[in-house]
């Protein structure tokens, strides 16, 4: 028999209270479960960051030993190895303007154990080799910028020129005869950078492609070619010793590492600026937690006083505390910038 009157009201009140209590208990349990899952996720992320790396890390460099890319990578690999307690090896996969290293890195597992030293030079390779299966823009995720460096026209003292103006005069007098090495090969950044000069002055050298700055420099020192257009950091010591003559740097201001070498702009090519940078990328799909740890550790190593002094002594400008997204943006921006330069100037790099 159904309850009625005051008894019914009491029954309904008690039933409501019981349902509300059950709802609160269920909500609390659900909230607790959600918080537990969140905590587990955070713990897993922290664990992944703490554990990485547990084996050898490779840095792939697209150019031969002895050049600026190689010097930068080796300086950082030693310190990262000390920090992680794991071996960090530099592998020089030279050839085809750096594209062989790009392809090798793109094929690697996206786990953080393979990094590619990338930068402006790889952007030009991507522009020049659009038919390749892999490129630095679409197949990688940024990790950290490391350094900015001027490019330099350096020649053998045997060439008989002492400054940029004399070099230009010789190119005009002997078009296509002065041999200039290109460490990043035909179609690379240094080829484009010199062609901008050549287009303005109306004379070009005879370009000799190389798989890196080391072999190109050896041939200049050995008297096999007249000079090279090269990253300044690769030949700083040779210019200081007088074995090479630095004619002009590509940046808007002089390099503190070689303050007596004027800029190309102040030497007769107004407005000429070619900025270059180098940094690290990882295969696309590398976990964010791993990328973030790599970013923090690389930035930390770059801020060590002895590392900064070493790199700045070579002519690099160390980049401070870059973020992975900055690397992605820089690669995309430079791809657009150099596409525009090639279209506007009509320069052919083949």
**Is the pLDDT score of 70 beyond 90?**
yes
Q: What is the DSSP letter of 81?
A: H
Look at the block and give the residue holding tokens 């790009």.
102
CB neighbours of 175 closer than 8 A, spacing ≥ 6?
Answer: 203, 204
Domains detected in the chain: 57-148+276-345 (3.40.190.150), 151-249 (3.40.190.10)
- HSE of 192 in the Cβ direction (CA atoms, 13 Å)? 27
On the question of a cis peptide bond just before residue 53, with omega within 30 degrees of 0, the verdict is yes
Query: What mean pLDDT comes out for the span 36-56?
Result: 61
- Predicted local distance difference test score (pLDDT) of residue 286: 98
**Is the pLDDT score of 141 beyond 80?**
yes
Q: pTM for the complete prediction?
A: 0.82
**Is the pLDDT score of 28 beyond 80?**
no
């Amino acid at each position: 028999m159904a309850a009625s009157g005051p008894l019914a009201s009491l029954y309904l009140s008690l039933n409501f209270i019981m349902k509300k209590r059950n709802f609160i208990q269920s909500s609390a349990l659900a909230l607790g479960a959600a918080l537990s899952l969140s905590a587990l996720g955070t713990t897993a992320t922290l664990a992944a960051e703490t554990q990485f790396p547990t084996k050898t890390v490779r840095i792939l460099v697209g150019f031969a030993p002895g050049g600026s890319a190689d010097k930068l990578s080796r300086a950082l690999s030693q310190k990262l190895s000390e920090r992680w307690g794991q071996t960090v090896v530099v592998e020089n996969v030279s050839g085809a303007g750096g594209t062989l290293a790009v392809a090798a890195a793109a094929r690697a597992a996206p786990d953080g154990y393979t990094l590619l030293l990338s930068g402006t030079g790889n952007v030009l390779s991507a522009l020049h080799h659009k038919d390749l299966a892999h490129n630095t823009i679409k197949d990688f995720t940024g990790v950290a910028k490391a350094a900015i460096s001027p490019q330099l026209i350096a020649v053998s003292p045997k060439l008989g020129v002492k400054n940029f103006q004399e070099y230009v005069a010789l190119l005009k007098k002997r078009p296509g005869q002065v041999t200039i090495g290109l460490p990043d090969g035909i179609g690379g950044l240094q080829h484009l950078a010199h062609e901008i000069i050549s287009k303005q002055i109306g004379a070009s050298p005879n370009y000799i492609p190389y798989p890196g700055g080391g072999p190109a420099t050896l041939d200049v020192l050995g008297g096999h070619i007249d000079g090279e257009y090269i990253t300044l950091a690769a030949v700083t010591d040779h210019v200081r010793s007088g074995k090479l003559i630095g004619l002009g740097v590509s940046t808007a201001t002089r390099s503190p590492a070689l303050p007596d070498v004027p800029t190309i702009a102040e030497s007769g090519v107004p407005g000429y600026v070619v900025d270059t940078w180098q940094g690290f990328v990882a295969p696309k799909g590398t976990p964010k937690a791993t990328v973030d740890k790599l970013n923090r550790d690389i930035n930390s190593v770059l801020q060590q006083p002895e590392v900064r002094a070493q790199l700045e002594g070579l002519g690099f400008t160390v980049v401070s505390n870059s973020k992975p997204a900055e690397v992605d943006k820089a690669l995309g921006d430079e791809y657009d910038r150099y596409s525009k330069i090639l279209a506007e100037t009509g320069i052919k790099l083949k």
